[in-house]
Structure 1
Amino acid sequence: METRWLEDFLVLAETGSFTRSAELRHLTQPAFSRRIKALENWLGADLIDRTTWPTRLTPAGELLQEKARLLVGELSSTRSLLRGLQQADAATLTLAVPHTLSFGFVPRWLADEQATLGEVAWRLLAHNVHDAVIALTEGNADLLLCYHHPRHPVELPDSRYHGLRLGSETLQPFCRAEHGQALWQLPGSDGAPLPFLAYGPNAYFRRMVELIIERAPQPCLLQQRFETDMAEGLKAMVLEGHGVAFLPQSAVQRELAAGQLAAAGGEAWSLPMEIRVYRDARRELPQLDALWQGLAARYPAV
């Protein structure tokens, strides 16, 4: 059982709406419903009366609501107490970031911003995009680095979270190069579909790739050969010549310069995205405040 399931349930009990609760928890409604169902399965009892509308709690749900408030409150208090004991960590800031940004962007950004960031000790939490956002909203991270695109934004309320635009990234198809030429070029053909290396269904880049293909100037003919959530995993497969994958340009600069990779499609097959950083405005840490003030002087607000 995960404590976040109890937090989800308490939000649902408060709002009486799966849709509104999912928004407040920064989840899709299907994902939120699955977590409520997982809690019910773990408890062995129905918490929601699904025979009525609007949403109502069962007697078991009403009992759990009372107990869960106490339990979550105690856990939160205990966490705050333990954090207060960790004096050695007082100068450490925690950065939640998607895996892809952790490999390429973060090391360069920290190096470029050393004068602005000062002598900061960092703890890096590398997650998928969803869990990185949850780390910020649940207070387990001081900053969130993430991608942003208008069609698939990370939605954080402006009243609570402040954001800055740090730069941009472009997602583009690449494949192995031989004798300076790409082995394949999009869009492929009926008789020769391109071997395609795809992102898994839980990957943010999968949505971005679907958007590229949706906007493409002509139908894309692909035959999927491999799937993973990790861009670095796809890059390794591309380097071995297994097929075409959409990769962030920042992740392949060395391989392009060395002639190991080549673009498998031009600008019509690429997609620009923003790179953003967010903080919780209610989080009061002198070192975080000083750092944010320095960044805000250099980068535009979202």
Structure 2
Amino acid sequence: MFTNELKKQIEFARAETLNQVTVDKPNIKINTQHSLSEYLVGEIIDHYPEVLRESVVNVEPSNFHDSVQNFLADTSSLLLLMQFDSIPLFIPNKDVQSMDIGIDYLAPMVGVDKRGTPYFDYQTSKQIPMLSYTTKSVFRQAIEKSQTTKQLLHCNIVYENNVTHSLKNMVLSGHGVAWLPLNSIKKELAQGRLLLLSKEIEPVVGRIRLYRHQASESCLTTTNLWQSMNSFKLEPVRCKV
């Protein structure tokens, strides 16, 4: 009985110590889209590993518009977005500062079977099932505003989901074709598990941009990360048909 009580006290003390360490660490809050939280935030941390040693990174994934509103409501936070020329963003705060950190592409991707053959052929398939973001998604809006939509007339939407990872898994399983950010599927492209549906279809270009409140009372670690991001560039991904 004494042993069990001692164990409880030790565990409690350990938990309190960990909690105190977390409280004492500065907090870097990043508002971002769901898709960017899945792959880009991790790449940034890989590039600057000291961020995790010096702070607690708090990622708040949401849709495009909610991410912007959350950022405007919290002047100590950062905002990470993929933006498109066809969907302009207006931020009323004059003190908001931004920087471009790279580009990404939305492109229609198809999975392959065990023999490496694409599940769907753009030239010969009469009807191709399309796995799509919902109509509220900025990705969906950017795709529909582009000229490439006219080139996909024989694709019917059969599934909608705003989570890029879910769409990718559906494509890999052969359920259809989906427009995916190429940087989110680097591994699958390198392994040949995902292919571009057709080289005739132009990808949709997205600019990756980081924002901060210039006159904010952000923690020193957030400021250091912002300044360091000038050396970070997201390299465009190449893919094959």
Asked if 1:295 is matched to 2:229, the reply is yes
Shift of 1:188: 6.7
Asked if 1:183 is matched to 2:119, the reply is yes
SS of the residue corresponding to residue 85 of structure 2 reads coil
Asked if the contact 1:172–1:265 (Cα under 8 Å) also holds between the matched residues in 2, the reply is no
Q: CA RMSD in A?
A: 2.6
| 5+ residue gaps, structure 1 | 1-86
Q: Tell me the alpha carbon deviations over residues 49-103 of structure 1, each in whole angstroms, 9 at most, x when there is no partner.
A: xxxxxxxxxxxxxxxxxxxxxxxxxxxxxxxxxxxxxx92661111111110111
| Aligned CA distance change for structure 1 residues 242 and 159 (closer, same or farther; 3 Å) | same
The one-letter code of the counterpart of 1:180 is G
Q: Tell me the alpha carbon deviations over residues 95-140 of structure 1, each in whole angstroms, 9 at most, x when there is no partner.
A: 1111101111110111113368972321111111111111101117
Matches within 5 A, 1:124-163: 124-139=59-74, 142-157=77-92, 159-163=94-98
Taking the aligned partners of 2:63 and 2:123, their CA distance within structure 1 comes to 29
| Aligned CA distance change for structure 1 residues 182 and 196 (closer, same or farther; 3 Å) | same
Shift of 1:206: 0.6
The one-letter code of the counterpart of 1:170 is Y
Asked if the contact 2:104–2:181 (Cα under 8 Å) also holds between the matched residues in 1, the reply is yes
TM-score (norm 2): 0.77
**Number of equivalenced pairs:** 210
Could you say which structure has the greater relative contact order, defined with CA pairs below 8 angstroms and 6 or more residues apart? Answer: 2
**1:119 alignment partner in structure 2:** 54
Asked if 1:196 is matched to 2:130, the reply is yes
TM-score (norm 1): 0.62
Shift of 1:291: 3.0
The one-letter code of the counterpart of 2:165 is E
The one-letter code of the counterpart of 1:276 is R
Matches within 5 A, 1:1-302: 88=23, 91-114=26-49, 119-139=54-74, 142-157=77-92, 159-178=94-113, 179-186=115-122, 192-212=126-146, 214-215=147-148, 218=151, 220-266=153-199, 268-287=201-220, 288-296=222-230
Asked if the contact 2:45–2:51 (Cα under 8 Å) also holds between the matched residues in 1, the reply is no
Q: Tell me the alpha carbon deviations over residues 253-286 of structure 1, each in whole angstroms, 9 at most, x when there is no partner.
A: 2122223221112263311211111011231224
Asked if the contact 2:103–2:205 (Cα under 8 Å) also holds between the matched residues in 1, the reply is yes
The one-letter code of the counterpart of 1:246 is W
Taking the aligned partners of 2:157 and 2:185, their CA distance within structure 1 comes to 21
SS of the residue corresponding to residue 60 of structure 2 reads strand
The structure with more radius of gyration: 1
Higher helix share: 1
